[in-house]
Structure 1
Amino acid sequence: MLRERKITILYPIIHYPPVIGGIEQWAENLANRQPENVKVIVVTGRVEGQPNVEARGRVLIFRKSIFSLRDLSHSSRFYILGAFPLVLFGSILAARKDKINLVHCHGFLSAVMGYFLSFFTGTPFLGTEQSTGWAGSWFRGLIYRRAELCIAASKAVGKEFESIGVDRSKIRIIPNGVDFSIFSNVRGPTPYIPRGEQKVFNILSVGRLEKVKGHKYLIDAFIGIKKEIPNAKLTIVGDGLLAEDLKSKIKELSLDGDIYLVGEVPHSDLPKYYAYADVFVMPSISEGFGIAVIEAMASGVPVVASRVGGLIDIIEENNTGLLVKPENSSEIKEAVCFLKNNPVKAEEFSKNALLKSREYSWDKVARSVGDLYSELVTKDFSKKILFATSIFTPDIGGPAVYAEKLREELISIGYEIEVAKGKDSRSLLRLCQKAKNSGVIYALTSSPRILAPALLASKFSGKKIVVRLGGDYIWERAMEKRRVDCSLSSFYRDNRLTVLEKVVAYFIASMLKRVDGVIFTTEFQKEIYNKYYKLKASNVSVIENAYPRFESGKSRSFPNEPLKIIYAGRIIWLKNLHSLIRALSRLKRDYKENILLEITGEGPDLGNLIEEARSRGVSESIIFAAALPHEEILEKLKMAWIAVLPSYSEVSPNFALEACAARTPIILTKECGLSAGIKDKLITFDPFDENSLVLAMEKMLDRNEWTKYQKELMELNLDRSYKEVAEEHNKLFQNL
């Protein structure tokens, strides 16, 4: 599948060849061996003498750092500090420009960059480690737990991943490789010993001159080896912090004519050293893999190595080589002398090791990694949606109910839904993190506080974004500040926005024109926005809310007193509840019926309503109740005399539909988003004319009128389920 699709893989890595090192060779060999449809972009540090931009076949290399590296085998902290931010920034730019499908990180610093890239671009990253000695690191745990998969060079490295909390199912064991076109078992002359002195027993070790490589134990062992094998010579290839210490030690032991520290050599020159070696020794104290052992085996050289880490995976003891205790010079000496004194056994080890090494061809390793690329890149994100919403269950409220019901139905038709709510929905970093495994960000909001970070997250991550507008941010805030006293339609029609509100409106319009889809719940709001915000018609859809399941059976009788009026929803100024309380006080004054008003909900206007009730002398006739779950509201509606929704404007009057479903007479604002076919059958009033509300309520005191209206509601049989709502969303998501 990977070979059928053009993809781009990004390698953010501080060092890349010609810089010398195992992880660098790993990255280069993988990059060079990917199939033709795979493009690899490498962002790395600058190297003296190398171009800042270079194309090697299908591999494009960008070199970015403050300083240029001179020593190909060692870089200072200053170089790394100067390279890290520029390599990271260059990687972010590359990810945005080239539509990166996957980030493959090589080593821990590279993984840190992958971690940040996954936040800022939403691109999944794959981590690789080839060393050990970091088990239990909380910081590595933080980084690698975010990776899609982690490649361990050996079982020992895999255990270290597990120790930091990476799930075992996310760990893959893929060893390093060897290039058989370079390394072979053809013998050759010693590169630096004159041909007249070739009759020696050559011991070779390759690795960085650091404590963990255990070279001091090999040098100590060589003292005993020299006594038993007088013509023995030891060559150590590599450079590092202990170079001067080891030179001093060799000189003190008077072995400077028998032990050669040749320093770092280009990887292409290593075959010459393996070709003359009679024994290869890797005396490491700790070793994640040990690529030099594989190279020695591919060169037909018998191997002695420490019984640690990845070396245990490579060497089959007494079959392909000998294993010794780490930090044990005596065992190293015994193993080397055994191979010298048992040439038949040494030859057997060499042949077996040569066969074993074929398992580690770079082509095979590259195919294994390519399979992982395919596994990650071909994941189907089209049915993975991230909801960004201010509230969600267990929160109480219409938007929370809608989001939860829609989520359930989408899951039933094969979607995977993740939710970012509250603070998470307003955090760019959290949205980028959650968007990583999603195909679409679905912002259920009219607030720019959620819309802005959701839009940025979609752009950073390359994901599609759809916005559902169920209200109007600017008008609602203007009403709550008591700056205006008008309906939603007249607010825009009469251009009653302040300069600041026009700036916010321009900002919202700019965002809505950049999203992939805008969903309105009613034609009412769609018409307002199309006129003022001038949205693209192709990007706009109307997906109406679901209608509650309508009660069947016989019509209800006029209820006994007390006659209860129900309102449920947010307690805010634009809901016009003060008019409802004043209308109640007039009914209480003019009629003898015992009428109660129950206001259920929460909001900043509660205290003002309590004071309004007290000043009107109707405190004992009003019950203020906390917000209730949707099901309990429906039960209250079934027992109510009437339901009232007096808002100045109501884009999606779900409460009115719930009252209709319960067959409870509903009085609602005429400034609402219900279709004409439904609204014409309901009693509506002018929210700016208190008398019209009183008249509507008075009409319902007439038993005949109440019964007539209730029977008309019985005939109203609207049928729209959340399943239909989900199917319309599915069609929209799949056509993005």
Structure 2
Amino acid sequence: MESLRIAMVSDWFLPRVGGVEVSIHELARALGMRGHEVFVVTHSYTNTKGSHALEDGDHYIVYRVPSPINVKDDVTLDPLAVARSVLFIKRNAFDLVHSHGISSTLSLMTSVLASGGVGVPSVLTNHSLISNDLPPGVRRLLKYGLRWPTVLTGVSRAASHDVEAISGRNSRLTPNCIDVDRWREAASSQRLEGDPAVIITSRLSRRKNPLEIARVAELVLRRLPRAVFYVIGDGVLSADLRELIASRGLEGHVRLLGTRPRHEVAKMLSGADFFALTSYRESFGLAVLEAMALGVVPVVYRSPGVLDLVEDGQSGFVVDDATSMAEVIANVYEDQALFRSASRASVERARLFDCQAVIDKYVLPVYREALNSCSQNDRRFLAYRLYRRLVGDPVRPGEWCSERKWRYHERAKEGLVPVVRRRV
């Protein structure tokens, strides 16, 4: 495929910590390494630069729009942030918008306005499982908004089915990915204390079900009294988990380490024997993939998105509750032949989700579909079409992909948004 100028859009990006943030970084970096021009469009946080900030990323550029109105989970409710995002896309001759998160206002509205107003093909990827949690009114509004993106995708089969259930449209699969070899290079040869050493990397929020960790540890210690659990992450339930650990006398065996830089996470993960996931509502499980790439055996709750990653009994183990998780950890650790086999298989499985493999198999075919739809499936708003007809400039199918983006780009000047001249 020819070199594309791609805008990755989301409320969530580094330095915020989470699976969506890391997955955008990994995909943007991998596409940039292939020669595509990739820009990540996000909004400012309290600990990042303010308005009009362009930053150099790793084979990509970050544009942060100012956003003084951020609510729960750093979602912007500032219409000016969305307007700047769309204007940046319009003036900089992007071939494609790839928005991440249907519950991200910046992502959803930029995708809607890019396709429905400007005419830029857009891909909107679902990173969550929310269809069963939406109030009826919100669900109807979201369904209406999901009419406009050119292509809908999900990071797992579960996430894809979830957005299909809301939108009534077909959805493609674009799994999350990591650079497996680079991640393995960041690993350490130093083993963590504990027989076994069990690690958890997760936001400590209700959705992640972190309090279950104490119960799992308690059960494992009955059979393996030298086991140590390491919990990397922070969140609203940090204090509750700490109190629960203390009340059960587990302080020496369950260690809460807080949030750590990603390179430190790789070093700690590689020193563990098992990775435990106690969430029932994972849409993908990027932390599981990171553990598998390092040969850490995953033992996970039966969560819809994780089933795309972990093959039960081969590259890891899928369980239903704390009791079965503790039993599997103890049994597999005592059977070292099985443990080593699962460790090797987890690395092999993780390589299927290396970014270069995912780009070839999933991402580029979706991009081609969106670009081909530019002329075949124009999704401009009716009001916009009427306006263009009134001013004597009727909408022509495929105009953005053929010449209109260049017209806007050539006359664009620095102002509300920066202009980055497109390389030839």
Quote the Cα distance in structure 2 between the aligned partners of 1:333 and 1:199: 15
Quote the Cα distance in structure 1 between the aligned partners of 2:145 and 2:374: 24
Equivalent in the alignment of 1:451: 390
Cα distance per residue 1:97-148 (max 9 Å; x no partner): 1122221110121123311332331222111112213247333322323222
Secondary structure of the residue aligned to 1:345 is helix
CA drift at 1:365: 1.9
Equivalent in the alignment of 1:430: 382
Compare CA radii of gyration and give the structure with the larger one: 1
**Do 2:142 and 2:167's aligned partners in 1 also have CA atoms closer than 8 Å?**
no
2:22 aligned partner, one-letter code? Q
Residues 1:182 and 1:254: Cα distance change in structure 2 (over 3 Å): farther
Structure 1 position 167 matched with structure 2 position 169: yes
**Do 2:188 and 2:268's aligned partners in 1 also have CA atoms closer than 8 Å?**
no
Residues 1:120 and 1:332: Cα distance change in structure 2 (over 3 Å): same
2:17 aligned partner, one-letter code? I
Residues 1:449 and 1:12: Cα distance change in structure 2 (over 3 Å): closer
Secondary structure of the residue aligned to 1:164 is helix
Match of 2:20 among 19, 23, 31: 23
Structure 1 position 11 matched with structure 2 position 8: yes
Structure 1 position 335 matched with structure 2 position 308: no
CA drift at 1:335: 1.2
Cα distance per residue 1:73-120 (max 9 Å; x no partner): xx85395336x4343122221122112222111012112331133233
Quote the Cα distance in structure 1 between the aligned partners of 2:220 and 2:390: 73
Match of 2:277 among 259, 275, 282: 282
CA drift at 1:60: 2.6
2:141 aligned partner, one-letter code? F
Quote the Cα distance in structure 2 between the aligned partners of 1:449 and 1:201: 67
Secondary structure of the residue aligned to 2:181 is coil
Residues 1:102 and 1:464: Cα distance change in structure 2 (over 3 Å): closer
Q: TM-score, normalised by structure 1?
A: 0.49
Equivalent in the alignment of 1:141: 143
Quote the Cα distance in structure 1 between the aligned partners of 2:115 and 2:323: 49
Quote the Cα distance in structure 2 between the aligned partners of 1:316 and 1:79: 34
Question: Which structure exhibits the higher relative contact order, with contacts defined as CA atoms closer than 8 Å and separated by 6 or more residues?
Answer: 2
Matched residues, number: 389
Where do 1:660-699 residues align within 5 Å? none
Match of 1:41 among 39, 42, 45: 39
Equivalent in the alignment of 1:181: 181
Equivalent in the alignment of 1:255: 250
Secondary structure of the residue aligned to 1:44 is strand
Match of 2:94 among 90, 100, 119: 100
CA drift at 1:56: 3.3
Secondary structure of the residue aligned to 2:41 is strand
Quote the Cα distance in structure 2 between the aligned partners of 1:220 and 1:338: 17
Where do 1:292-307 residues align within 5 Å? 292-307=287-302
1:352 aligned partner, one-letter code? A
Quote the Cα distance in structure 1 between the aligned partners of 2:68 and 2:191: 37
Quote the Cα distance in structure 1 between the aligned partners of 2:26 and 2:207: 26
Equivalent in the alignment of 1:59: 60
Indicate the percent of aligned positions where both proteins have the same amino acid: 22
Equivalent in the alignment of 1:224: 219
CA drift at 1:366: 2.7
Unmatched 5+ stretches in structure 1: 69-74, 192-197, 387-417, 419-427, 436-442, 466-736
Q: TM-score, normalised by structure 2?
A: 0.82
Secondary structure of the residue aligned to 2:63 is strand
CA RMSD of aligned residues (A): 3.1
Unmatched 5+ stretches in structure 2: 404-424
**Do 2:229 and 2:253's aligned partners in 1 also have CA atoms closer than 8 Å?**
yes
Secondary structure of the residue aligned to 1:183 is helix
1:332 aligned partner, one-letter code? M
CA drift at 1:203: 0.8
2:236 aligned partner, one-letter code? L
Q: Which stretch of structure 1 is more off in the superposition, 48-57 or 123-132?
A: 48-57
Quote the Cα distance in structure 2 between the aligned partners of 1:309 and 1:209: 19
CA drift at 1:431: 4.2
Quote the Cα distance in structure 1 between the aligned partners of 2:217 and 2:282: 21
Match of 2:198 among 198, 203, 207: 203
Structure 1 position 291 matched with structure 2 position 286: yes
1:331 aligned partner, one-letter code? S
Structure 1 position 376 matched with structure 2 position 370: yes
CA drift at 1:190: 5.4
Residues 1:203 and 1:80: Cα distance change in structure 2 (over 3 Å): same
**Do 1:431 and 1:457's aligned partners in 2 also have CA atoms closer than 8 Å?**
no
Equivalent in the alignment of 1:90: 84
Cα distance per residue 1:8-62 (max 9 Å; x no partner): 2222222222222111112122222226553222221124255821233652321
Cα distance per residue 1:686-730 (max 9 Å; x no partner): xxxxxxxxxxxxxxxxxxxxxxxxxxxxxxxxxxxxxxxxxxxxx
